[in-house]
Chain A
Amino acid sequence: AADCDEIHLGSAISLTGKYATNGVHAKNGYEFAIKKIAENGGVKIGDKCYNFRVSYYDDESKGDRGATLAERLINQDGVQYMLGPYSSGLTKAIAPVTEKYQIPMVEAEGASRSLFNKGYKYLFAVLSTSEQYLASAITLAAEMATANGKDPSSVKVAVAVENDPFSLDIRAGVLEDAGKQGMKIVIDEKLPRDLSDMTAILTKVKLLKPDVLIVSGHSKGAATAVRQIGEQKISVPMVAITHCEAADVTGNFGEFAENILCSTQWAETLTYEDPIFGSAANYEKEFKAAYSEYASKKVPYQTAQASAAVYVFKDAFERAGSLDKEKVRDAIAATNLSTFYGDIKFSDSGNNIAKPMVLRQIQGGEYNVVAPSKFASHKLVWPRK
């Protein structure tokens, strides 16, 4: 409500640089949640109500800048609670600072596992860690092999990921799962940060004919991969990538994107819901209404999870019943929340262990959930073309 007091949050976010697109997605998610919470009576602590206000700085997608800005937020702007930046790399750079100042940070965009083995006490992530992003594609490939009377160990895997903490973690997850199945990694390449052409890799794909092709490289990795796979008529039975929605591959590349598997933290077709945002589908609808630039594309999950992070803060403040930093931290740690984004419950290390990743396949220009089976609304189309 309008006459509420203010809780001041801070965030260093990428408005420029290589993560700018997703940084803006995240920022919009934060802002949308703040608006929704305010419309729903704000954060109620005792008999007072509060609205969130966030101070943003542009970290330029650079770690050292992010760390400096986090300090500035804490020291000079007096911020006591932080929302995360975009990407694992930036979160890695900022987490030591928030930890040192004992500032609780709920983050929504840093998925790398290595964030959660440092013993951080003030870092909480609402999303699933990144090794899970595409590992399920390996499981799916193994299932398909078995269904076709082949041994999963005969499956050949090609991996091309960007050389950054997030994508390397995805690769680690894929390699781990593929190793368990005894699959052979035939291509294992790292994409440069200013990728504009992956012909070299796709040529090898043509020669080596892998059964699964895994690509991860934020929005531009997704865009380049989909486009060139289409242009060069790469016929791999299964192609799995990240950041489809953020890159709007269906809108930009049409039939090239057909039957590609996309990992997602969240999908609007899932059956989650909560009292503030309503159902997942409702979130999508209202968000599009609020931000017209998303009208013609999918709302990316980066936005949804950013909103969820704000929601975790609201919930924790209300349960703590106080503005005391330590109490709020403990309340966050004890979170057990059902949201439109999925269930949220933190492990001791601070990552969310209550929500699975989902895999969607682009079928007829639509994103349909195909795995895990619990959520699957459609059957997997296999092999692809």
Chain B
Amino acid sequence: MSAIIEVSGVSKSFGGVKANADISMTVAEGGITGLIGPNGSGKTTLFNSIVGYHPIDAGSIRFRSQEISRMLVPEIARLGLLRTFQQTRIYGAMNCVENMLISIPHRKLSLMDAFGRNTAEDHERALHMLEFVGLYEKRFLQSGSLSFGQQKLLEFAMALMNEPTVLLLDEPTAGINPTLINGLIDRLQRANSEFGITLFIIEHNMRVIMNMADKIYCLAHGQMLAEGRPDEIQDDQRVIDAYLGAH
């Protein structure tokens, strides 16, 4: 599998705090890559650097061999790099279908298209996606009044609707009921296999990440601590010491 995102030698510090120091890693196209590490080890910082929320101090970030470390958030998003937020972000005043329809891939629209109406096809796809994440019943409900977990699912459906190339998920299961987590993982895996969406996931929940990822990177104190397959990581003494703790 070829690398779709290549991070090489990226450093980022805030004032005195070195959040990322000389990080290098790759995300394989079509795979599921995991990112773990203690609190404050710089995971979210790395995500933000990739999708353009702040400038990096050194290094380079490439998407399909294109340098993106100086581009702005919307420009990067238009390349098909999509992220979800730790705190869910949906358009709360609209119902689920409207939320879905806004999420059609605008980057593929010309200005003239924007002045058109949504096609029957768009509607159908929206409903299909809602069904896929199990929100079909709630499609006309104001999305703001969905429960926390359902909002996460909706956000996930919106991301799929957007037909991203890469989906970056920041702690997708935090605060979600364990049973629901299982459903979420199932759908993520199906999105990966059925739609061919590359996934890049930050998680603290080992049950999730160990069962999903092909490859896991572990950060500590802003530095790359270890990388490898889930079983390798799980038994890596450095990871156990720095992060997992004794079992």
Q: Do chains A and B touch in the complex (CB under 8 A)?
A: no
Interface residues of A (CB under 8 A from B): none
